[in-house]
Structure 1
């Protein structure tokens, strides 16, 4: 460890930083660690709730929610392993407190780092799903077969995880206890650290963000041009309405027209909710990624990076809060789960029925 990062016990007991010119004060590390523990608590409970909601309610077991389920799994892993990043920050010796379990620090850094990429790719997959459902419903079920969905989910997970493991094996970057950031992270003191961060940014961000931007822009244009026109045409035509392969109604009537309008409106509400997830995601992660595109070699840059990491990691806890507050299908089920009214959940799955029997 260099003298720049060295610290004594007497330094820690004072209100000053750990050495003249040192980048981060111990009190700042404690603050960020507390924020990480808060994210760990909210994110773990929230994402676990979203996962259970899908497992409990057949109404939530839609094609789109397969990707939401996958997104929540990635965010849950991120939230759970944030605990160990916080433990590393709270170590008064500014080092990993359990040398014999150093592998836990490396695994935690790897999973938090790569599961972020999994989240980005799942958000992109969700946007494409909504785009096809709204703009090309006639081919939706042909594209989203069980096999194709399994392939899509596999890609969203394997690409970030494989890249995260392959780069260190090729001698580019690595994971462990970072003495600059005082936590389990990618190792900034390695000669190839900047190349490692740049490679992850290029692989994990531009393509998914382009897909997200294109998909939601295309949805907006489509809705603006055709939504009003489609509603007017529905009043003049007798058609059978099909959504996700299920026939809703087959006779021309005022009730059928209202049902059609309700389905379209609900799908738009779901799309707007998922678009909100995307917008918040971009707002809170963009500053961190843009800042990390450039080398950081000053105490000021270290502090900026430290505080930008808080909203960056908080994204894993924000998504389930959005579902609970805004999603037209999730919020009702999540509310019943919070009140422990499992028997009132509509369209119960066999899994939930077995679960409620164990409560008796």
Structure 2
């Protein structure tokens, strides 16, 4: 009877690993806090009541929301060492242990950035068509679709993980290899390729423009977005390629616990908090909007668009000048 009671207690017990403040944990916490505060300011500037927004502003706000959620999910937390054989443990294994929510928000951030790049290309290449069809409402629909796709791609953990003998196990190696390579192509190679092509195409179109005001306004937005894209590539490339070679079996499992991989992960997490600094450095209207917001000047409508060039609404007024 005592032995059965001990087995039940052991099977129903959660065993947590001792939490240690390693150097990467401390840096990760700092990045999470900076990402939370920075992206919160971006969301306040864009979604402040009474402030008008264009489609690009809505997408940039959605990018800030995705990065804000990512910052929440990268906050360090204790790790389970032994799981009980319960439904709660299986749920924790599938959702928390696999960082599913974090990867959903990261995937949404990547796809939103890709959408912004394509939207910018369409605005420059087909200005009249873009002005007629581009609205914040349609941008919101695109954002909802992006999150649905991000959720669908990352639900693999709902069936690929399970609890066995107190451990949270993954799927078979062949399945894990296929999923790892597929995610590398879908979440990294495809978005980066589309984004780079869209920016190169946009630059080529802008060079042929003769309307000085139009080129100046659109070039300011393009420069800012280009910096965001380059930063994303720099931050995520080492981590993505490192995880790819691990899935391919080129490096041993100990690589995932090495200082080099820790550095790659920290660099990837840094991407969730750098965009607000880019906006502040490259967009005077963003700095002015922050100042006015803290000074309670939310009624100022002269700075209504974050993605605008100097003195123009993002694409609405700028594109109108292209029709004349």
**Greater RCO (CA < 8 Å, at least 6 residues apart):** 2
- 1:193-213 per-residue CA deviation (whole Å, 9 max, x = no partner) reads 333322322222222222101
In the other structure, the counterpart of 1:286 is 237
**1:122-133 aligned within 5 A:** 122-133=112-123
In the other structure, the counterpart of 1:64 is 56
- Match for 2:152 among 162, 174, 179? 162
In the other structure, the counterpart of 1:305 is 261
- Measured in 2, the distance between the counterparts of 1:214 and 1:138 equals 22
Query: Would the aligned equivalents of 2:206 and 2:215 in 1 still touch at CA under 8 Å?
Result: no
In the other structure, the counterpart of 2:3 is none
Going from structure 1 to structure 2, the CA distance change for 1:150 and 1:59 (only over 3 Å counts) comes to: closer
For structure 1, the residue ranges without an aligned partner over 5 or more in a row are: 1-8, 13-25, 181-185, 232-260, 350-360
Query: Would the aligned equivalents of 1:48 and 1:72 in 2 still touch at CA under 8 Å?
Result: yes
- Match for 1:315 among 261, 266, 271? 271
- Measured in 1, the distance between the counterparts of 2:238 and 2:169 equals 20
In the other structure, the counterpart of 1:270 is 221
- Measured in 2, the distance between the counterparts of 1:34 and 1:299 equals 22
Whether 1:204 aligns to 2:194 is no
Shift of residue 79 of structure 1?
A: 0.4
Going from structure 1 to structure 2, the CA distance change for 1:348 and 1:147 (only over 3 Å counts) comes to: closer
Whether 1:50 aligns to 2:33 is no
- Measured in 2, the distance between the counterparts of 1:163 and 1:125 equals 17
- Quote the RMSD (CA, aligned, Å): 3.4
Going from structure 1 to structure 2, the CA distance change for 1:301 and 1:55 (only over 3 Å counts) comes to: closer
TM-score calculated relative to the size of structure 2: 0.73
In the other structure, the counterpart of 2:28 is 36
Whether 1:334 aligns to 2:286 is no
Shift of residue 123 of structure 1?
A: 0.7
- 1:299-336 per-residue CA deviation (whole Å, 9 max, x = no partner) reads 34531222210011111111111112212432221244
**1:61-210 aligned within 5 A:** 61-83=53-75, 86-88=76-78, 103=91, 107-108=95-96, 109-145=99-135, 148-165=138-155, 167-169=156-158, 171=159, 173-174=160-161, 191=173, 192-210=175-193
In the other structure, the counterpart of 1:346 is 300
- Measured in 2, the distance between the counterparts of 1:205 and 1:175 equals 27
In the other structure, the counterpart of 2:307 is none
- 1:19-67 per-residue CA deviation (whole Å, 9 max, x = no partner) reads xxxxxxx87x621111111111110111111111012276661111111
- Measured in 1, the distance between the counterparts of 2:40 and 2:162 equals 27
Q: Secondary structure at the match of 2:297?
A: helix
Query: Would the aligned equivalents of 1:58 and 1:348 in 2 still touch at CA under 8 Å?
Result: no
TM-score calculated relative to the size of structure 1: 0.67
Query: Would the aligned equivalents of 1:43 and 1:317 in 2 still touch at CA under 8 Å?
Result: yes
- 1:172-211 per-residue CA deviation (whole Å, 9 max, x = no partner) reads x4499xx99xxxxx97686443333223222222222221
**1:207-222 aligned within 5 A:** 207-222=190-205
Going from structure 1 to structure 2, the CA distance change for 1:95 and 1:302 (only over 3 Å counts) comes to: same
